Amino acid sequence: MLERINRISEVEKFFSNKDHYHNIHEQSFIDVYNVMIDFINESVQLYEEKKQNEEQNVKDNHPYIAKVVNSVMGHGKSTAARIIAKVAHKNNVPLLFVFNNKKNMDSFRKEVQPFVKNELLLIDSDNFNDDLKNIIKNFKIVGITQQRFRDMAIGYGDFSFFSYWKPNIGWIEPMQRTIIIDEMPIFINAESFDIGKNDNCLDWYDEMVKVTNDEELTKFDCERVRVLINYLISMEMAESFKHESEYTSLPTKKLIRHLKDEQRELLYHVLGRLKKEKVEYKYQNRYQWFLKMLENDSVGVVNRDEKKTVILCSKWIEYRHFGNILVLDGTADIVRKIYEHGGYELIELPNYHNYKERLRILFRIINTSKTKRKNIETHESIASDFLEIRERTKDLNIIALPTKADITTYVKNGVITEEQYKKYFSNTTKMEYESMALNLLNTTGQNDLINYNGIGLLALPLRHPTYYKMYAIAIYGVEKDVSLQHENNNGTNSIQWFTDDDVQEIYRQLMLMDFSQIIHRINIRLLNDNQKSYVLIYTNREGWKEELAKLYGLEEIISFDLFRNIKFKNECIERFEHAKTVLEKEPFESQLSLGKFGSRFKKWFNRHWRDEERKKIMIEVAESMNLIVYEYSNGYKKIELVPSLAFGTFRKKKVGQSLSK
């Protein structure tokens, strides 16, 4: 049995980086470490009971256990996993780690390899081969990527090679591995079929024909079947046009019904001779989905939203038959619906983040929809605002996070610096099916931004609607309406995107999960740090303000309308520059009443201060110049010049009472 700890010093010898040991938040580390220890002990005991029952021919009705621990980003779960790998190795407890990308796997290797020596095996697409399969069982600690884990779960690869540890020492019997997954695993097996260039319904077929050399298959027959497949998908899509609505969500019926007997015979003849095993797994998977739709009803969903029609296929991936599983996911409490559907027990741990004092979220109101982002005016407005904030605000080290398609534009206009581009955005290396270059939708598990205290989301972290629809189909089935809600029914204060409430909730949770992953990439994840963290979000969808305020327990999230208020903002800059000049010339006083800046300034100030939206702009501009506005309960106001003022300082102060630093 592995031992729990009461103090981090009990495992100090397993830390290779002593600076990290001294800087880590002790209690958060102890919390997640002990949860992992408890789970591994429970797992080992359950495996032993199952083994005894098997030896005694006793029927075992106990399922494997599956849990997820909600250790929020920055609470030390990755560190705990690496320490536990060393502790488990020392105590002969075999583990299988599943990483969300190869980069995190490499970080794990650097930390763990020196301690466990040649008893660690980390497998990726570069080193996996048939010879390796037979020796996996000899390694105590094994690691794979989530993509490989997913492939084996849906039938591409044999998990039995990874299940057990059987050392070369003869007297130790094989021991089943406990599985620890880093971040939420890939829970859906999803494919979409289209007759356009994207998700083309013929891509899998064309690849299989290329690698098939069969004398009984003529070129003419292959071409005929290609036309038949396209015809089947087109006919199924055409069925949806019996409904007049532009928004349609209908279960598919068996595709084979559209063909005559002679056509069916030809189709099966050609499909039966294709060399399926010679193409990539993704094409094999699309072939399997096509076969299911060909011969069965209610396999996929014909979905039409406005002018776009596509067939969506999605199924939940079950991992629990592989063994006892513990998922480490700092957003597990946000995406509860997903884990509940999968049968994972949620272990909630304390959240030690001080969001109320440290986190400042600011909405910059501008339409950043995909259509609007094609306009040069949108990019210019965002760039102008972002660059101004970066240049005028002391102590703000901020990085911009655009969509992948917009990276080049923001490099050209200077929002992304040359240094930032080279370090974070230009890495196009694909690691186990995944590009490691940074973008708005590729931040999970990346901790390289920890030295920044600000991040700008240059659009919402919004994925293609198909992503959310696939989760909904996998969870609720093909009968669920996954149509988008009519756009003209939504105001900017609404986050409603889908017609069905269940689908909308899946979308809401997954969006908040992405928000949380992004926000915790910067210095907010440092629990022992008191420095503030700033998040700028460029969007006109203000409904997300309420969602984020609720998620992080924030009293207020400030909005600034980039177009409507830009003229007034420039006016504020001019007025407060005058006020700052007056204060800098004052030899004895650091703060002055409004009248000391002149009657015109006082009248201007009081006139606009009564407007709440303009007051927010005045506060923002003033603090950017290191000016604090004090308002007392009797309405009397003063302005103070301070040496340095952190961005967002004023906003937590309440107007209507005496204000002080």
Partners of 69 in the β-ladder: 328, 347
Q: pLDDT tier at 488 (50, 70, 90 boundaries)?
A: low
pTM: 0.86
- Residue-level pLDDT at 659: 32
Instruction: Please answer whether residues 398 and 454 qualify as being in contact, where contact means their C-beta atoms are separated by less than 8 angstroms.
Output: yes
> Phi and psi for 69 in degrees, rounded to 5?
-100, 125
Q: What is the DSSP string of 101-117?
A: SHHHHHHHHHHHHHHHG
Q: pLDDT tier at 68 (50, 70, 90 boundaries)?
A: very high
Amino acid at residue number 305: D
DSSP tag of 628? E
Amino acid at residue number 488: N
Q: Name the nearest CA neighbour of 363 among 569, 616, 575.
A: 616
Q: pLDDT tier at 243 (50, 70, 90 boundaries)?
A: low
Taking CA 434 as the corner, what is the angle to CA 506 and CA 70, rounded to the nearest 5 degrees? 45
- Residue-level pLDDT at 274: 95
- pLDDT(57) > 80: no
Q: Among the listed ranges 49-53, 189-193, 526-530, 648-652, which one has the minimum average pLDDT value? A: 648-652
- Residue-level pLDDT at 651: 38
- pLDDT(43) > 60: yes
pLDDT above 90: percentage of residues in the chain: 74
Q: pLDDT tier at 55 (50, 70, 90 boundaries)?
A: confident
- Residue-level pLDDT at 515: 98
Q: How much is the average pLDDT of 243-253? A: 81
Q: For residues 232 and 556, which has the higher predicted lDDT (pLDDT)?
A: 232
- Residue-level pLDDT at 431: 46
For 383-423, write each residue's pLDDT tens digit.
999 998 998 888 899 999 999 999 999 999 999 999 999 99
Q: Which residue's structure tokens are 């490989």?
A: 148
- pLDDT(594) > 80: yes
- Residue-level pLDDT at 129: 82
- Residue-level pLDDT at 199: 67
Q: For residues 133 and 246, which has the higher predicted lDDT (pLDDT)?
A: 133
Distance CA 176, CA 323 (A): 8
Neighbours of 494 (CB within 10 A): 12
Counting other chains too, the contacts that 545-549 makes at CB distance below 8 Å and 24 or more residues apart are 545/361, 545/363, 547/495, 547/508, 547/512, 548/361, 548/512, 548/515, 549/361
For 291-332, write each residue's pLDDT tens digit.
999 999 999 999 998 778 999 999 999 999 999 999 999 999
Put the strands of the sheet holding 558-561 in their side by side order: 398-401, 454-457, 533-538, 359-365, 558-561
- Residue-level pLDDT at 198: 72
Q: How much is the average pLDDT of 220-243? A: 91
- Residue-level pLDDT at 248: 84
- Residue-level pLDDT at 247: 72
- pLDDT(2) > 90: yes
For 531-554, write each residue's pLDDT tens digit.
999 999 999 999 999 999 999 999
Q: What is the DSSP string of 84-98?
A: HHHHHHHTT--EEEE
What's the whole-number average pLDDT of the chain? 91
Q: For residues 132 and 445, which has the higher predicted lDDT (pLDDT)?
A: 132
